[in-house]
Amino acid sequence: MFKAIFAVVAAMSLGSAAVAQSGEADSGDTRWSIAIHGGAGTIKRDKITPEQDRDIRAALSQALAAGSKILKDGGTALDAITATIMVLEDNPNFNAGKGAVFTWDRTNELDTSIMDGSDLSAGAVAGINGTKNPILLARAVKDHSPHVMLSGEGANQFSREQGLEQVTPDYYSTPRRLQQIEAVLAKEISAADVDYKFGTVGAVAQDRSGNMAAGTSTGGMTGKRWGRIGDSPIIGAGTYADNRSCAISATGSGEYFIRLGVAHEICARIRMRFSEAIKEAQLTVPKDKDDNYSYAIHASEFQLPDEEIQQIADDVIAELGELGGDGGIIYATPWGQAGYSFNTAGMYRGRATSEGEMGVAIYGDEE
């Protein structure tokens, strides 16, 4: 009986919980998956030119290809998301690295974080500048310091000591970002009234060894003041990874993601639901004449179906919306699933798996 139930659950779990296109299945023995995002917000067809649509899709595809190749070749989830985020940080279409938004004082303050789900190690930096690829600094904090988070000039100093590539302040600037901050300063209005898109970038992945990783990088909010820090560098809010449940990267109105602890909340619910599901499945196993189960279900041979993972993510994003927050998340699970949940009109996103799924999307109505 249980074998039949397990077969149904496994079949359900191989389905797609995300917007994607079919590709060629990987012939490898172990599953891998990756999901990426480049921000969420009022992303509608009538607000994006055909040229912007083309360029953003190309950038997402390039980033997805970089991470997918590493995973397909047997590389680690950490290396895959690092390479993926670097591609997005180098592209001026996103609010991270090159193309980061400006603060009220016409400066750039970048935030980023990274987490390894195999041992829960993490690194994060907030309010930095001077580092070409902030995600590399977050990883250096994780790998080469006793700390989890560094900020401001101290983080900049650590970056230089680690030998990371440095840039001058004008590197981050683009004409579009300059225009946005000038509009904010001239009218003294909020960033949301100027450009309601959260261009934060992120990636989550599971590698062939079953290890999870997550990373997020952002330039923050246009016109932010007083050293404001959002959810992107906050472990548990904008980034979280745990081999026992999932990897999450978020984008949106950071204050609400912090208050709800969105990234950790989703992972915690998946972990608890997984434990409950195993117990429920065990109850379906036949017993012998001594009232002992004839078969003990082990966690390694069980997984949550796509529908349950998606529902958990959707429930947390719904709670975010009830608080007044907008945005979305990407997820990867220990069972090879990858997907998204968002409450905005659109989200720049993409996913790929060893099962042959690969694709990128922008608008909310894309399948």
CATH number at 257 reads 3.60.20.30
- Whether residue 201 lies inside any domain: the answer is yes
Question: Is 200 among the residues known to form the active site?
Answer: yes
- Whether residue 165 lies inside any domain: the answer is no
For the entire predicted model, the pTM comes to: 0.90
Kindly state the tokens that stand for 189. 């209005």
Interacting residues of 308 by C-beta distance below 8 A, sequence separation 6+: 273, 277
pLDDT for residue 245: 97
Q: Within a 10 A sphere around the Cβ of 237, how many other Cβ atoms?
A: 26
- Whether residue 174 lies inside any domain: the answer is no
pLDDT for residue 191: 52
d(C-alpha 348, C-alpha 37), whole Å? 5
Q: Within a 10 A sphere around the Cβ of 280, how many other Cβ atoms?
A: 11
- Whether residue 338 lies inside any domain: the answer is yes
pLDDT for residue 28: 54
Domain that holds residue 50: 2-15+26-93+197-363
Bridge-partner residues for 241, per DSSP?
A: 247
Q: Which of 82, 112, 200, 251 is catalytic?
A: 200
d(C-alpha 266, C-alpha 300), whole Å? 21
pLDDT for residue 290: 86
Instruction: Tell me, rounded to whole angstroms, the distance of Cα 79 from its chain centroid.
Output: 14
pLDDT for residue 242: 98
Block means of pLDDT (10 residues each) for the chain, 367 residues, are 34 34 56 95 84 95 98 98 98 94 94 98 98 98 98 98 96 91 78 59 97 97 93 98 97 96 98 92 88 85 92 98 96 96 95 93 88
pLDDT for residue 281: 87
343, 346, 349, 353: CA torsion to nearest 10: 60
Q: Please state, in angstroms and as integers, the Cα–Cα distance from residue 4 to each residue in 7, 9, 274, following that order.
A: 5, 9, 19
pLDDT for residue 320: 98
pLDDT for residue 367: 67
Return the residue matching tokens 């359900």: 12
- Whether residue 31 lies inside any domain: the answer is yes
CB 110 within 8 A of CB 96: yes
- Whether residue 177 lies inside any domain: the answer is no
- Whether residue 221 lies inside any domain: the answer is yes
Kindly state the tokens that stand for 176. 């579009």
pLDDT for residue 19: 35
- Whether residue 315 lies inside any domain: the answer is yes
Domain count, the chain: 1
Answer left, alpha or beta for residue 194, where phi above 0 means left and psi between -120 and 50 means alpha. alpha
d(C-alpha 84, C-alpha 76), whole Å? 12
To the nearest 10 degrees (0 to 180), the angle between helices 77-89 and 134-144 is 150
Interacting residues of 47 by C-beta distance below 8 A, sequence separation 6+: none
